[in-house]
Amino acid sequence: MPTIFKRIIDKEIPAQIVHEDELCVAFHDVAPQAPTHVLVIPKKELVNLAAASGEDQALLGHMLLIAKNVAEQLGLTNGYRTVINCGRDGGQSVDHLHIHILGGRALHWPPG
């Protein structure tokens, strides 16, 4: 069964998309953990960062640059946090690689 993110990529589920290109999609999280909470996902189905290989190097770099550009586009001028959860113990809840962009308030450390 396709993940919710695959269904968003395939336009089966609506999302508030802020960026889309041939490699990835960025959209607002439906359960935001900060005033601004956007996810950047690859269109390639990668379960998580641990599943990535050398052939994914350009894609991973592209996703990070898109995260930076989206943060700028959304006016996160005072800073933001990017998070990639990997596996159940890492807090990953959807088995499709994604970068969280969190901002719009002071984010404390450690995160949890």
Q: Which of 62, 98, 100, 108 is labelled catalytic? A: 98
Q: What is the distance between the alpha carbons of residues 84 and 68, in angstroms, rounded to a whole number?
A: 14
Q: Which residue has the tokens 């990070």?
A: 64
98 is known as an active-site residue: yes
Instruction: Cite the active site residues.
Output: 98
